[in-house]
Amino acid sequence: MVGKIYGTGSCVPSRVMDNNDMAKIVETSDEWIRERTGIERRHIIEDETTSYMAGQAALRAVEQSGIDPAEIDMVIVATSSSETIFPCAACEVQKTVGAVHAAAYDLNAACTGFVLAFNSAQAYISAGIYRTILVVGAESMSNMIDWTDRGTCILFGDGAGAVLLRAEEGTPVCMAAHSDGIKGEALTQLSRHRKGWEQEENKESCMHMDGQAVFKFAVRKVPEIIEEVLEKADAKLEDIDYFVLHQANRRIIEAVAKRLKTDLAKFPMNLEEYANTSAATVPILLDEINRKGMLQRGQKLMLAGFGAGLTWAACLFEW
Ligand code: UT7
């Protein structure tokens, strides 16, 4: 059995901050941000929370699927920015959608979180343990960043995306995932639940990133893991209809396409509108291309995520 996507959904805050708004906060410019990242705008929470956006994205996915929420066996929310440690965001989503029979838990693997959650859901389905699984990626990155650090604050946005998977007969799903804790210092976010954090300056608790190290890691490891998955699946690059990659930087996606010698048109992007929403980028993009009518049953999709940990993961499946 494989998990087929029956529905997708997304939710982003209505408040938009464009690059000129960012230039009022830190020393930067629309031109620099566009050239170095491809980002034009990002959606930033006001009253919304991570679990609220997760719930709304999930409701839309469930609605599109036509599946009774009582049939959902499991809810997994990939997030590292939930407003509560417990109850987990997945339990909030369970409540919102009325998935009364589901088990629910959160998964934290930063920007790789959604692809790992998707892989986990596929593994449960292929093992025959569960039949219907809701997988969500949701983040409020604006609560984590140091708004005085131009090297990071311009890169991120808030939002959530969701997919509803249902077991069916089909071509096996193929996946891979890796981590490298030794290089973890390249991208860190300390918890505010550590002893003594109250005495620190707020900046200490914010995200720290070695941008160039993460950039180099991504352009090397993403093509590698895509090739690893293709080899496992005995498939070729040409077989893939779309590469749905984590939306961190347009230049990273261009470099991956170039290394794979694959047409950039097969790499849909929406980072100009939402920036990097961490675990939410892949499901928001999936929802967007699905609702635009770009996807047909039988097409082959490759998902790939990468980020803090360091972590990276990929998944090849048929739409
Ligand atoms: O989900 C995974 C999360 N992270 C990523 O994917 C990040 C991956 N890395 C990147 O996307 C890029 O490294 C950045 C966009 C973060 C930075 O781009 P870059 O081309 O690597 O720039 P840089 O860090 O080498 O900085 C170049 C210059 C520096 O000035 P000097 O030293 O040349 O005078 C920076 O101080 O650009 C400066 N700079 C900025 N200037 C205007 C850095 N940030 C900004 C800014 N506006 N926002």
Q: Please give the pLDDT value at position 168.
A: 97
Which residue's CA is minimally distant from atom 13 of ligand 1? 211
151 Cα: distance to centroid of ligand 1 (angstroms): 5
70 Cα: distance to centroid of ligand 1 (angstroms): 47
Round to whole Å and give the CA distance between 143 and 42: 14
Strands 132-140 and 158-168: antiparallel
Q: Please give the pLDDT value at position 198.
A: 73
Q: Please give the pLDDT value at position 148.
A: 93
85: left (phi over 0), alpha (psi -120 to 50) or beta: alpha
Q: Please give the pLDDT value at position 199.
A: 72
CA distances from 62 to 32, 79, 173, 209 (A): 40, 19, 22, 36
Taking only the tens place, the pLDDT of each residue in 181-211 is 999 999 999 887 777 777 776 667 789 999 9
Q: Please give the pLDDT value at position 59.
A: 98
Active site residues: 111, 246, 276
242 Cα: distance to centroid of ligand 1 (angstroms): 28
Task: Give the 3-state secondary structure of residue 188.
Answer: strand
Asked if 176 and 313 count as a contact pair (C-beta separation under 8 A), the reply is yes
CA–chain centroid gap for 316, Å, is 16
Q: Please give the pLDDT value at position 11.
A: 98
Asked if 161 and 270 count as a contact pair (C-beta separation under 8 A), the reply is no
Strands 208-209 and 74-78: unpaired
pTM (two decimals): 0.97
* Segments of the chain scoring below 70 in pLDDT: 201-203
Which residue's CA is minimally distant from atom 8 of ligand 1? 215
Q: Please give the pLDDT value at position 196.
A: 76
Choose which residue among 17, 36, 42 to substitute to test ligand 1 binding: the one with the highest number of ligand atoms within 8 A of its C-beta.
Answer: 36
Which residue's CA is minimally distant from atom 16 of ligand 1? 211
Q: Please give the pLDDT value at position 191.
A: 85
